[in-house]
Structure 1
Amino acid sequence: MKIYLSKYHKLSEKGVEEILLNFNAVGQSFFTGKKRRRNHIKVVEIDGIKFNIKSFKQPNYINRYVYVYFRKSKAERSFEFAERLMTKGIGTPKPIAFAEETSKGALTKSYYISEHLEYNLTFRDLDLAKPGHEDILRAFTKFTYNLHEKKVEFLDHSPGNTLIHLNNGNFQFYLVDLNRMIFKSLNFTERMKNFERLTSNKELVKIMAEEYADLLGKPENDVFKKMWFFANSFFVNRGKNRKVKQKFKNLLGIK
C-alpha cells in the first residue's frame, strides 16, 4: 500500500496503514442507517482527534488501469484539490493523507483521509420559512462567487457538498467530495451553469441570482434567466432519466 501524508497533521505512515488495513473493523460509518452509497465513509478517532476516511468504490475494469497509468485516482485528486483550496483560502476539511493499493498493475483500493469537521447544516437543509436561512443562502451565494473569482469550478456543486458552520452568524463554508474540480477562469455562462445541481426551487434561485448579480455588477434579470435555465433544465432532464432507468429496471425485474 502506498501512503502519502500531508503537512497538516503528524500521523505516522505506519499508523495510517494499520487503520486502513482494518478499515472494516474500526470507526463508525458516517451514513449509518441511510441508503448504501457508492463510497464508504467512516469516522475514526486517533489521539482525541476525529478523522474521516473515505474508501472509494473499486473502479470498473478499464479505470483500474487508467488510474494507475494515465490519470490520478479519485483519492489523489481529492487530496491535491484540498491542498490547492487551502492555499486559496477556501474552506475544506484539512487533508491528512491518501492511500492506494494496486495488484498486477491495477488499482484495487484507494482511500482519502481528512480531518473531521463538525457542521450545522448543508444547502439541502435551507428553508426560507426558517429564520435566518435567507441570510445563509445569500452568504452561500457570495461563497460561490468567491470560488469563481478564485478560478475554481467545483463540478459537484450539489446540495450536500458544502458544509455550513453557523458560528454565531459568521457563516463558514467548507467544500467536500472534491475529486471533480477544474481550476480556471470562468465566463458568465460557466458561472451560471455551476449553480444547476443545487435546487429546482425557483424562489431559492431568484435570491441567489439577485445576490450574484449584485456581486458581479450585472442586471439581475440576465443572471436569473441564465441561472434558472440551467437549473430547470438539469432537474427536468434528471427526472426523465430516472423514469427511463426505472422502466428499464421494471422490465428486468430489478427493484
Structure 2
Amino acid sequence: MLRYHSIVPEGEALLTQLLGYIHLHEGGSSELPPAVHITEIYRGRNVLYRVECPEGDFTIKHFGRLSLLRRLYYGWTNSSKARRSLLNAVQLLAYGIATPEPIGYAEERSALGGLEDSYYVTRYLAFTGADLQHEARSGEVNESLTRALATFLAELHECGIVHEDLSPGNIPYIYDRAKEEYTFMLVDLNRMHFTATPLSLRASIRNLDRLFAHPRATEALGRAYAEARGWDPAVVQPALEAACDSFWLHRLPKLALRYAQRAEGMSAPTFLRHYNAYLRWRRLRHLCPIGSWQRALHARESAFYTRYLEVEDVRRALAKRENYPHTPLS
C-alpha cells in the first residue's frame, strides 16, 4: 500500500504520477511516455533520479531496501528516511538555509505496517558544484570558496543545525559569477538534528571532522571558520586537525579494505587476516624492549602500510604517528 505526504497543493496527484514513472522505469517497461525522461544521477545504497516530465523537473531519491527489523521499526514508529528528509527540509527553509525545494515523500507499507519502500521528492536544481571532493582532498585551496563555505557552516552551527553526514557530497553550491557569490545548500537530509542553542566549539569541530581531508584544506577551513564564529584560530585549527586525524584514522581500515579489493582483487577475509597480523606486529613492537626486534617488526609494518594503507591514509596521520616511510602529500 502506497502512502503519500506532500506540502504542495497538487502533492498527492503529483507524487502518484511521479512514482508511476519511476516504477515503470525501474521495471524496465517500454510504456514510459515519450515526454518523460529519467536520468540516474547516483547509485549506491540509495538511487537518485532526475525526472523530466510534463509535470516539471524533479529529483527523486529512492531509499535502499531495509532489513526486516528496520522495516518494522521505521514503519511502526513512522520515522522513515523519506519522512525525516521532508521534515528536516521544511525546518531548514524556516531557518533560511537553502535546500532543493521539497515536494513530499511516498512510502510503501506492508499489511503489518512495515516500511517496504520510500521515496523523497524535490524540485530539480542544477548546481554549479555538486561535490566538494576536489577541495576536500586537494592541497589547492580555493580561498574564496573556503571562506564562503566557512561562513555557511558557521551560520548552520549558530542556528544549532547539525547535519550528521556533513561530507563533501552533501553541500552542493551555486556560484554566481556576476556577483562572485556562492550559495551553499544541504542535501541528504535524513540524518540531522537541531539544538536549541548554538553549537559549542567541541560540537562544531566534531561536526566538521569528515568534511576536508587534506591538511592544507583543513587548515584553511579551520582559519576561516574560526573567523566566521569570532573564535581564536590558534584554538580552532589544532582542534580541527586533531579531530580530522582521528576521523580518518578510524575510517582507514574500511577504506584500505576497499582499496585491496579494487586494486588487487583481495577478498575481505584475506585482507582482514593480513590486517590483524599487522596490528599484532604493531602492538608487539610497542611492547618489545629489544631494539633489533623493534626494527624488524617496524619493517614488516612499513611494508604492509606501503602496500595497503598509504593510498587511503589521506592525511598521512598513521604514517606520522608510527614513523612509517611515506610519500608526502602534494
Same fold (TM over 0.5): yes
1:17 is the counterpart of 2:22: no
d(CA) in 1 for partners of 2:54, 2:81:
27
Show CA shifts across 1:101-160 (max 9, x none): 101221101000011111111321335647xx2101110011000000111011110010
CA distance in 2, matches of 1:211, 1:204: 11
Partner of 1:222: 235
Shift of residue 95, structure 1, vs aligned partner: 0.5
TM-score by length of 1: 0.89
- The aligned amino acid for 1:49 is G
The root-mean-square deviation of aligned C-alpha atoms, in Å, is 2.0
Question: Is 1:156 equivalent to 2:165 in the alignment?
Answer: yes
User: For 1:142, which of 130, 147, 151 is the aligned residue?
Assistant: 151
Question: Sequence identity of aligned pairs in percent?
Answer: 28
CA contact (8 A) 2:58 2:123 kept: yes
Q: Which residue of 2 aligns with 1:112?
A: 120
Offset of 1:15 from its aligned partner? 3.4
The aligned counterpart of 2:222 is 209
Q: Aligned residue for 2:279?
A: none
User: What are the ranges of 5 or more consecutive residues in structure 1 without an aligned counterpart?
Assistant: none
Cα distance in 2 for partners of 1:177, 1:216 equals 25
- Aligned partner of 1:23: which letter? I
Q: 1:128–1:134: 8 Å Cα contact kept in structure 2?
A: no
Q: Relative to 1, partners in 2 of residues 1:196 and 1:54: Cα closer, same or farther, differing over 3 Å? A: same
Q: Distance in 1 between matches of 2:223 and 2:216?
A: 11
Gaps (5+ residues) in structure 2?
Answer: 26-31, 33-37, 272-330
Contact kept, 8 Å, 2:50 with 2:124, in 1: the verdict is yes
The counterpart of 1:175, out of the listed 172, 183, 186, is: 186
Q: Does 1:49 align with 2:50?
A: no
1:78 aligns with 85
CA distance in 1, matches of 2:67, 2:248: 27
Counterpart in 1 of 2:247? Answer: 234
Report the alpha carbon displacement of residue 250 of structure 1 after superposing the two structures with TM: 4.5
Partner SS for 2:162: strand
**Runs of 4+ residues deviating >4 angstroms:** 244-248
Greater Rg by CA? 2
Alignment partner, residue 316 of structure 2: none
Q: Could you report, residue by residue, the CA deviation over 1:178-202 in whole angstroms, capped at 9, with x for unpaired residues? A: 0000101321101011111112211
CA shift in 2, pair 1:173/1:232, >3 Å: same
Asked if the contact 2:15/2:105 (under 8 Å) is kept, the reply is no
> SS at 2:52's partner residue?
strand
Cα deviation, residue 249, structure 1:
1.7
Other-structure match for 1:61: 68
* 238-247 or 144-153, larger mean C-alpha shift: 238-247
Quote the offset at 1:240 in angstroms: 2.0
Residue type of the alignment partner of 1:4:
H
Distance in 2 between residues matched to 1:163 and 1:16, nearest whole Å:
25
> How big is the shift at 1:48?
6.4
**Aligned counterpart, 2:207:** 194
Question: 87-96 vs 17-26, which deviates more?
Answer: 17-26
2:54 maps to a residue whose letter is D
Could you tell me how far 1:217 is from its partner in structure 2? 2.4
Structure number with higher relative contact order (C-alpha < 8 Å, ≥ 6 residues apart): 1
Which residue of 2 is the match for residue 3 of structure 1?
4
Q: Deviations over 1:199-244 (max 9, x none)?
A: 2211111111111222222221210111111111111110123346
Number of paired residues? 244
Deviation at 1:17, TM superposition (A): 1.3
Take 2:124 and 2:21, find their aligned partners in 1: how far apart are those partners? 19
**Where is the strand percentage greater, Structure 1 or Structure 2?**
1
Q: Does 1:249 align with 2:235?
A: no
CA distance in 2, matches of 1:28, 1:142: 33
Q: Aligned letter for 1:158?
A: S
AA aligned opposite 2:69 = I
CA distance in structure 2 between the aligned counterparts of 1:203 and 1:48, rounded to whole angstroms = 46
